[in-house]
Copies of this chain bind each other. A is one copy, B any other.
Amino acid sequence: MQGIATLKHVAERAGVGVATVTRVLNNNGYVAEATRARVLAAVEETGYRVNSLARNLKRQRSDVIGHLVRSTIPNPFFVKVARGVEDEARARGFTVMTVNVRGDREEERLGVETFLGWRVAGLIFSTPVSSRNVAFAVARGTPVVQVERPRSALGHRITVRNRPAAAEAMEHLLALGHRRIAYVGGAPGTQRNETAGYVETERFGAYQAAMEPVGPLDMGLVRFGLVYGPDQTTAQGLGYQAACEWLDAPDPPTAVMCSSDILAAGVLQAAHERSLRVPADLSVIGFDDTLAEYLSPLLTSIRMPARRLGRAAVGLIVDQIASGSGEGRHLELSAEFILRRSTAPTPR
């Protein structure tokens, strides 16, 4: 095979010019049937494969979409988003390059640099770490989409309407007779962080609103902490620790609302250690629906439209390329309450 076949080799072999070969390869322009067949045969014989480097260089655009994923471990949420991104990208003829930035702004910056170097068609931040990096990419004219926890008003954004599903979960608990309902999760967004913190704000907000009629909030039953540790399982620690404290205290909650499945897994462990039965003795609800199907009992949770998030992100990138406009659109998808087996009426 002496080196890899190029267009020229194919052209020589088929006895035509290189232009003709590109024409049949990209099928544009007129090519006689006979010629086309001859070219195709030559391609076959030489084992020719287009050199994407050359093609993209020439075309002045690449068919690669860069995907910056915040973290893949321990939370599989982003893995699902990545699936959606890949699905849609492939369907639209794009290739995805994924970089896991591990919640680190510096790694994220590096990732952006790399992608910009590849002259990617667009950049998806599956939850940006730093708004600066988003701004940087936007400033260089690259189509950008921020998924789930936008850090900046720049570029397109896709978020999830957490509130209704969370409210549904709370109503469910209330209808079951629970009044002492605890909450573990990330701290709701502060002023500074409004955009990125909306997820926690919405989740906790739903809890707060639902508890309103019950009486003044018992802040002893609320525990905030890190949701995405820097790739550690710290989140699990948080759920576990909170539950241990509550369960060992005099007047324990009868239900716990968690802002992630990982947190809920920790609560389940604490309960298990104390020989408490879930849901008979304690009801638990998770969020994200990532671990839910693996836990015992099957965890009632709130499903994030992870895959659709990914698909939509690619759609938005493609739209931006087509329209050429950087007009920052904002898409909103819905979460879904999934009733399983981890809730039951209040033990009397």
Contact = CB atoms under 8 A, between A and B. Distances in A.
Contacts of A296: 265, 268-269, 271-273, 295-296
A49 B116 contact: yes
Contact of A53 (B4, B53, B272, B293): B53
A49 B113 contact: yes
A179 to B, nearest CB: 26
A62 B51 CA distance: 11
Interface in A60-89: 62, 72-73, 76, 79-80, 82-83, 86
A347 interface: no
A291 interface: yes
Nearest to A54: B57
A348 interface: no
Contact of A100 (B86, B114, B236): B86
Contacts of A53: 53, 56-57, 62, 118-119
Contacts of A100: 82-83, 86
A96 to B, nearest CB: 8
A269 B297 contact: yes
A269 B295 CA distance: 7
A97 interface: yes
Interface residues of A, number: 52
Contacts of A73: 76, 79-80, 83
Contact of A76 (B47, B50, B79, B96): B79
A222 interface: no
A174 B162 CA distance: 49
Interface string A183-208: 00000000000000000000000000
A326 to B, nearest CB: 13
B62 A72 contact: no
A146 B78 CA distance: 26
A52 interface: yes
A30 interface: no
Interface string A273-309: 1010100000000000001011111100000000000
Given A54-B57, A57-B53, A82-B100, A293 B233 contact: yes
A61 B261 CA distance: 44
A97 B83 CA distance: 14
29 contacts: A1-B140, A4-B119, A4-B140, A49-B116, A49-B117, A51-B119, A52-B114, A52-B118, A53-B57, A53-B118, A54-B57, A57-B57, A72-B79, A73-B76, A73-B79, A73-B80, A76-B76, A79-B79, A86-B99, A95-B114, A96-B97, A97-B98, A269-B295, A273-B296, A273-B297, A275-B277, A294-B294, A294-B295, A295-B296
* Pairs of residues from A and B, 9 with the lowest C-beta to C-beta distance, nearest first: A272-B296, A265-B294, A52-B117, A53-B57, A269-B296, A97-B97, A268-B296, A52-B118, A98-B98
